[in-house]
């Protein structure tokens, strides 16, 4: 994968302190799948009584582990569960061999932990089209199961990194009726995409109690306004996976709890933002907020058209308040727009309204906003109540450096 | 617009010899709209009896000249016509002032040439959001109308350039029933996009005789498989315009002529390819040919997903036969695909089939193809008879250099 890129300038200062989650233990190990001298396998174990939910890539060419997770995620079971993740090889586009490798991993993991293979969920991330050397991973299952412990968040987050420049974690502690509920999550991803299609993977755990259908609904809804609202370059991976486990160890049922929903939303948004902050070559964190659209769906279409426009993203890299490119992106998105009702803001600076530059607009004001590390583009369509916010990063020489290198 | 970029390495050796078209005269002049010391206005005059057809951007924020052309293009008239084009200012997102500027240009041009203003078609390309100083153009109409002549193709093509690195022309002479028909066209565009949203403009002329509806149908159909099948980065401009005039000066009616259709298709494809060859930062000319899709529309969706993928385009820049990224792009496109029926070729090299790398595939063979200046990606879906071919270029540091510079 070439030389390790420097830590993103948008990275948080340090990995956060995450709460231990009753009923969840983790371990990491160096299996040598592709990388030498670093952890590349992560194992998480969830106690019996846990419920699981998942959200997966909708790619038509999704990888074998994703297909296996999708087939299993809807089952009800009291048997406990395990999540096994390797980096270095995505086990994607590997034909029948891909499914065989997943089956072998689930069988061996189940045997080591006393679980049925149907309760083992796997993810793989890294190079695609190469057979996964799964025997290197199964050889480490004894070591992994022996090392399972409650506090290994950062080590687990590091083991699943590919071209990520920092490990990603987020957590929350919520008080519900005087009882403490923990949420902790880790993620990897240098945007939706990375060299050789390494991908976005997210694992979140809580000791709250939630039925499987309630957990699935909650996770799907919150993914829609967090992970599904970020983009680095619009390229969708074959392996994107979010798995969430609720162990119920706290004894607190949170179905319908607004406080829990808010806390989980915060954790998911934090992880999603960290993925953008590690976007390939990123030097700016960008929020695109669209309001006044004919519908929320239209607002999202406009926001994504702006966030994925190479012209907008290069302008941000150049710290250029080039609002004409925002007009262009709105115009091409295909969603409803009326040129003469558009309002555009960079940060708090009103740039354009009523189909032309705003009276009193001074470019130096907008240019000052563009020099910030966090840039906000606000667009109001003036048509209705539809709104959406998405997050992205700029498009820089760093992106070309990372992706135009020949794999080696 | 900063320093002039060097001539594209994909540029043709020289501007072609184009045939004179009976009933068409052209002129160019330096009006100083934005650039100093170069022609920036082009005037074409078509004799009475000419028919006109046009295809325009579908952007919801399209520019004032585009809206004016759309309103006029469907009218029948024997009065002759004029096309007036300036570079340096797009007269886009200029509010009511934009329409006023267009009206003034049409009025003055009509007066200079003895035409009704409704028969004057204008285009503007360059910076957006700034008022068009149209008085600089109207001041040159006397000079322009006096200089009209039949052979000024290259000078006209140069006058409409913005960040283009070479002038674009293509022509054909067809023999129909022993009589000679000429076709000549010019275009500008450094892809669908360019700094400050300079745009793609195309003007084609013939001395063949065609009714207005027949010409419109032909131009719309052929645009669909030429200009609408190219992409540099998926950003659609607010000003894209194609105008075609048929003067009938040859006296040969070509309605239904397959030979004329083929010749016109060739001219349009040539111009479209030249736009890709001048794509910002381009070092490779890329053909993406998709076959075996469920429908032609699905094939086009897959082809565009591949051609617009930053991951695919950076891999091509790096001369990396990274077929996993092609799998990714097919998977994300939203059109029907079956991972295990996909076949992928780079040039003649069979890379992947049946959901995995092809037996006997040697990466050095594909790598050799990627080193060529013209790269071909072939994808067969194995699902049906749908097919589409699109053309694009690679994504390089040159693109970032051109677009991340602050406007100045």
From the list B109, B199, B206, B283, the catalytic residue is B199
What's the gap in Å between the CA of B93 and the closest CA on chain A? Answer: 5
Across the interface, do B399 and A310 touch by the CB < 8 Å criterion?
A: yes
**Token pair in block for residue A369:** 């906003």
Residue B194: the pLDDT is 35
Residues pairing with B389 in the sheet: B289
Of B233, B234, B404, the CB nearest to A318: B404
> What CA–CA distance (Å, rounded) separates A70 from A21?
25
Closest CA to A137 of A91, A188, A199: A91
Under a CB-based contact definition with an 8 Å cutoff, are residues B356 and A100 in contact? no
Rounded Cα distance between B292 and A9, Å, is 45
Tell whether B2 is within 8 A of chain A (Cβ): no
Strand B168-176 with B41-46, pairing: unpaired
Interface of B with A in 170-209 (CB under 8 A): 193, 196-197
CB within 8 Å: A92 and B355: no
For chain B, the structural domain boundaries read 24-277, 285-403
8 Å CB contact between B327 and A93: yes
How many whole angstroms separate alpha carbon A78 and alpha carbon B335? 39
Burial of A103 (0-12, 13-18, 19+ CB in 10 A): middle
Query: Rounded to 5 degrees, what are φ and ψ at A11?
Result: -65, 150
Q: Which residue of B has its CA nearest to A367?
A: B406
Quick one: residue B88, left, alpha or beta (phi over 0 = left, psi -120 to 50 = alpha)?
Answer: left
Residue A193: pLDDT over 60:
no
Closest CA in chain B for residue A238: B328
Half-sphere exposure of residue A260: CA atoms within 13 angstroms, side-chain side: 24
Closest CA to A80 of A42, A24, A122: A24
Q: What does the block give as tokens for A34?
A: 């592709």
Return residues 135-154 of A near B (CB < 8 Å). Answer: none
B362 inside 8 A of chain A by CB: no
> Which residues in chain B touch residue A337, judged by CB atoms under 8 angstroms apart?
60-61
The whole-angstrom separation of Cα A204 and Cα A202 is 7
Q: Is A236 annotated as a binding residue?
A: no
User: Is residue A408 a known part of a binding site?
Assistant: yes
> How many cross-chain Cβ pairs, A to B, lie less than 8 Å apart?
211
Write down the pLDDT at residue A102.
97
- Residue with the bigger pLDDT between A61 and A347: it is A347
B71 close to B77: Cβ distance less than 8 angstroms = no
Whether A383 has a pLDDT exceeding 80, the answer reads yes
According to DSSP, residue B250 is labeled T
Q: Are strands A241-246 and A51-56 parallel, antiparallel or unpaired?
A: antiparallel
Residue of B nearest to A58 (CA): B332
| Torsions phi, psi for A393 (to 5 deg) | -130, 180
In eight-state DSSP terms, residue A227 is G
Q: Give which of B235, B284, B394, B399 to mutate to test A binding, by max A Cβ within 10 Å.
A: B235
Q: Which of residues 49-108 of B touch A (CB under 8 A)?
A: 57, 59-62, 92-97
Q: Least CB-CB distance to B355: which of A57, A95, A354?
A: A95
Closest-CA distance, B357 to chain A, in angstroms, reads: 7
CB count within 10 Å of CB B224 equals: 12
Helix (H, G, I), strand (E, B) or coil at B264: helix
Q: Is A199 annotated as a binding residue?
A: yes
Tokens 């998709």 sit on residue: B290
Report whether B15 contacts B184 (CB < 8 A). Answer: no
Half-sphere exposure of B241 (CA within 13 A, CB side): 29
Q: Are B318 and A40 in contact (CB under 8 A)?
A: no
CB contact under 8 A, A317 and B399: no
Report pLDDT digits (tens) over A39-96.
999 999 999 999 999 988 878 888 899 999 999 999 999 999 999 999 999 998 888 8
Length of chain B as a residue count = 408
d(CA B272, CA B227): 5
DSSP string, A313-336: HHHHHTT---HHHHHHHHHHSSS-
pLDDT at A241: 85
pLDDT given for residue A169 in this prediction: 93
User: What backbone phi and psi angles, to 5 degrees, belong to A364?
Assistant: -65, -30
Q: Which long-range contacts (CB under 8 A, 24 or more apart) does A341-344 make?
A: A341/A292, A341/A381, A341/A382, A341/A383, A342/A379, A342/A380, A342/A381, A342/A382, A342/B61, A343/A292, A343/A378, A343/A379, A343/A380, A343/A382, A344/A377, A344/A378, A344/A379
Residues of B with Cβ-Cβ distance to A317 under 8 angstroms: 400, 404
Residue entry with tokens 């000052």: A368
Which range (A150-159, A234-243, B247-256) has the least confidence? A234-243
Min distance A197 CA to chain B CA atoms (Å):
7
Q: Specify which residues B121 forms β-bridges with.
A: B83
- A383 chain-B contacts, CB cut-off 8 A: none
| Residue ranges of B 219-248 with Cβ closer than 8 A to chain A | 233-238
Distance from CA of B175 to the nearest CA of A (A): 41
Is A233–B407 a contact, with Cβ atoms under 8 angstroms apart?
Answer: no
Q: What is the pLDDT of residue A406?
A: 61
- Read off the tokens for A273: 């933002």
CA B135/CA A200 separation, integer angstroms:
55
pLDDT at B279: 85
CA dist., res. B3 & res. B231, Å (int): 24
Strands ordered across the beta sheet of A285-293: A356-357, A349-353, A343-346, A374-380, A285-293, A386-393
CATH class assigned to B24-277: alpha beta
Restricting to B residues 299-318, those with a Cβ less than 8 Å away from any Cβ of A are: 308-311, 314-315, 317-318
Residue A231 pLDDT > 60, yes or no?
A: yes
In whole angstroms, give the CA distance from residue A238 to residue A90.
Answer: 9
Q: Which helix (H) or strand (E) holds B332?
A: helix B323-332
**What is the spatial distance between Cα A106 and Cα A118, in angstroms, rounded to a whole number?**
7
CB atoms within 10 A of CB B282: 28
Residues of chain B neighbouring A330 (CB-CB closer than 8 A): 60-61
CB A141 within 8 A of CB A108: yes
DSSP 8-state class, residue B33: S
CB contact under 8 Å between B317 and A97, yes or no, is no
Contact A373, A405 (CB under 8 A): no
User: Taking Cα atoms as reference points, which of B400, B35, B279, B195 lies closest to residue A322?
Assistant: B195
Asked if B321 contacts B346 with a C-beta cutoff of 8 angstroms, the reply is yes
CB atoms within 10 A of CB B178: 6
Per-residue pLDDT for A372 more than 90? yes
Ordered per-residue pLDDT tens for chain B, 408 residues: 445 668 888 999 999 999 999 999 999 999 999 989 999 999 999 999 999 999 888 788 888 999 999 999 999 999 999 999 999 999 988 888 999 999 999 999 999 999 999 999 999 998 888 899 999 999 999 999 999 999 899 999 999 998 889 999 999 999 998 999 999 999 888 754 433 444 578 889 999 999 999 999 999 999 888 888 888 777 777 778 888 999 999 999 999 999 999 999 999 999 988 888 888 889 999 999 999 999 999 999 999 999 999 989 999 999 999 998 999 899 888 899 998 899 999 999 999 998 889 999 999 999 999 999 999 999 999 999 999 999 999 999 988 888 887 654
- Give the phi and the psi of residue B67 in degrees, each rounded to 5: -60, -40
User: May I ask the CATH architecture of the domain B285-403?
Assistant: Roll (3.10)
In this prediction, residue A108 carries a pLDDT of 98
C-alpha torsion sign, points B3, B7, B8, B11: positive
- Report the distance separating Cα A23 and Cα A37, nearest Å: 30
Tokens encoding A81:
């569960």
Shortest Cα–Cα distance, B188 to chain A (Å): 18
Q: What is the pLDDT of residue A196?
A: 41
Q: Residue A196: which of A239, A242, A151 has the closest Cα?
A: A239
Over residues A271-297, the pLDDT tens digits come to 888 888 888 889 999 999 999 999 999
* Catalytic residue flag (residue B314): no
pLDDT of residue A197: 42
Q: Which residue has the tokens 């053309």?
A: B391
For position B266, what pLDDT does the model report? Answer: 93
A chain contacts of residue B59, beta-carbon cutoff 8 Å? 328, 331-332
The token pair that represents A348 in the structure block: 């708090």
């Amino acid at each position: 994968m070439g030389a390790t890129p420097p830590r993103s300038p948008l990275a948080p200062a340090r990995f956060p302190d995450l709460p231990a989650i009753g009923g969840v233990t983790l371990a990491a190990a160096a299996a040598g799948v592709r990388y030498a001298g670093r952890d590349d396998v992560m194992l998480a174990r969830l106690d019996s009584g846990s419920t699981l939910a998942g959200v997966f890539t909708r790619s038509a060419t999704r990888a074998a582990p994703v297909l296996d997770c999708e087939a299993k995620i809807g089952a009800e079971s009291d048997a406990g569960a395990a999540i096994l993740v390797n980096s270095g090889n995505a086990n994607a586009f590997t034909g029948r061999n891909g499914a065989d490798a997943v089956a072998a991993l689930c069988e061996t993991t189940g045997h080591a932990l006393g679980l049925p293979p149907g309760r083992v969920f796997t993810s793989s991330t890294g190079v695609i089209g190469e057979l996964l050397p799964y025997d290197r991973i199964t050889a480490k299952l004894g070591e992994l199961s022996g090392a399972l412990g409650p506090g290994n968040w950062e080590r687990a987050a590091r083991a699943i990194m590919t071209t990520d420049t920092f490990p990603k974690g987020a957590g929350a502690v919520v008080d519900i009726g005087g009882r403490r509920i923990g949420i902790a999550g880790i993620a990897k991803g240098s945007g939706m995409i990375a060299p050789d299609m390494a991908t976005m993977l997210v694992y979140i755990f809580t000791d709250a109690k939630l039925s499987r259908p309630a957990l699935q609904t909650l996770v799907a809804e919150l993914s829609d306004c967090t992970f599904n609202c970020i983009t680095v370059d619009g390229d969708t991976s074959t392996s994107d996976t979010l798995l969430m486990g609720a162990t119920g160890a706290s004894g607190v049922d949170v179905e319908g709890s607004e406080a829990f929903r808010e806390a989980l939303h915060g954790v998911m948004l934090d992880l999603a933002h960290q993925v953008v902050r590690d976007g390939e070559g990123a030097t700016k964190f960008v929020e695109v907020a669209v309001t006044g659209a004919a519908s929320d769906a239209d607002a999202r279409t406009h926001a994504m058209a702006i966030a994925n426009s190479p012209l907008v993203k290069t302008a941000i890299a150049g710290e250029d308040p080039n609002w004409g490119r925002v007009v262009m992106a709105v115009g091409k998105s295909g969603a409803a727009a009326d040129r003469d009702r558009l309002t555009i803001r960079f940060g708090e600076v009103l740039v354009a309204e009523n189909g032309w530059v705003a009276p009193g607009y001074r470019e130096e004001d907008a240019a000052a906003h563009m020099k910030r590390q966090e840039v906000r583009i606000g667009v109001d369509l003036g048509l209705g109540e539809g709104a959406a916010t998405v997050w992205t990063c700029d498009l820089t020489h760093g992106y070309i450096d990372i992706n135009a290198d020949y794999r080696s």
